[in-house]
């Protein structure tokens, strides 16, 4: 099977991202042969390598689209510092793209940038807006909530909050509503106390 025929079969899958093993099964070839074929297609700009063993078809994506691509098949949306920056609440541009997912937490480096994925329980997954290109980004309120919820995790990555400027239009009730959905009592109390402290500091 030549590269053109292989590409057609891959395109017929109708999925945005796929793994080397998927193509190995699709084309009925050894994983090493599938990897070599995909590398040749990538050298021609017909597919893109997202991470080790994961690929995508199409043009270079909007950087924010990387979150869902590397998290697939689990859903994901841009949040935390990346979403806060998009909403103009922090000034420092994050070095990596921060996102929330239902899949496992991990850091993935791709040719288009690095994505830092953080797991959120299903009950707390949401609160995002979808752009015309399909990119999902947390609202300002949900991005702050996600940051507070993840701040006491073992990684300690979000323990220190960035300098945040909150507009008068910021909806504290939305953050409080998400906090009420936390099932763990200690975590819920922690987040509610942080929300109260931040609200007091920004409404004086």
* Distance between CA atoms of residues 62 and 147, nearest Å: 23
Query: Between these two residues, 38 and 117, which has the higher pLDDT value?
Result: 117
* Distance between CA atoms of residues 192 and 148, nearest Å: 9
43-76: per-residue pLDDT in tens? 777 888 777 788 887 655 667 788 888 898 899 9
If you average pLDDT over residues 123-152, what whole number do you get?
93
Tokens of 3: 């590269």
* Distance between CA atoms of residues 196 and 200, nearest Å: 6
Q: What is the pLDDT of residue 60?
A: 59
* Distance between CA atoms of residues 71 and 75, nearest Å: 6
If you average pLDDT over residues 141-157, what whole number do you get?
88
Q: What is the mean pLDDT of the chain?
A: 87
Cα dihedral 110, 112, 116, 117 in deg (nearest 10): -80
Q: Which domains does the chain have, with CATH numbers?
A: 3-57 (1.10.10.10), 63-202 (no CATH)
Q: What is the pLDDT of residue 204?
A: 63
Say whether pLDDT at 129 is over 80. yes
- Residue 82: other Cβ atoms inside 10 A: 23
Q: Are the C-beta atoms of 82 and 94 separated by less than 8 Å?
A: yes
Run of H or E including 107: strand 106-110
Say whether pLDDT at 171 is over 80. yes
Q: Are the C-beta atoms of 181 and 124 separated by less than 8 Å?
A: yes
If you average pLDDT over residues 85-108, what whole number do you get?
91
If you average pLDDT over residues 9-26, what whole number do you get?
84
């Amino acid at each position: 099977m030549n590269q053109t025929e292989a590409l057609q079969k891959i395109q017929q899958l109708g999925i945005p991202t796929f793994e080397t093993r998927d193509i190995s099964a699709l084309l009925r070839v050894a994983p090493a042969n599938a990897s070599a074929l995909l590398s040749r297609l990538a050298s021609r700009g017909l597919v893109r390598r997202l991470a080790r063993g994961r690929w995508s078809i199409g043009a270079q994506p909007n950087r924010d689209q990387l979150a869902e691509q590397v998290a697939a098949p689990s859903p994901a949306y841009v949040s935390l510092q990346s979403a806060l920056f998009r909403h103009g609440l922090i000034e420092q541009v994050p070095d990596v793209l921060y996102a929330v997912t239902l899949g496992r937490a991990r850091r993935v480096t791709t040719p288009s940038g690095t994505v830092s994925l953080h797991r959120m329980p299903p009950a707390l997954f949401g609160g995002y807006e979808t752009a015309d290109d399909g990119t999902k980004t947390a609202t300002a309120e949900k991005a702050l909530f996600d940051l507070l919820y993840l701040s006491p995790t073992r990684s300690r990555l979000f323990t220190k909050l960035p300098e945040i400027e909150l507009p008068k239009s910021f909806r504290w009730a939305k953050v409080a509503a998400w906090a009420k959905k936390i099932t763990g009592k200690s975590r819920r109390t922690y987040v509610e106390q942080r929300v109260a402290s931040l609200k007091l500091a920004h409404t004086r």
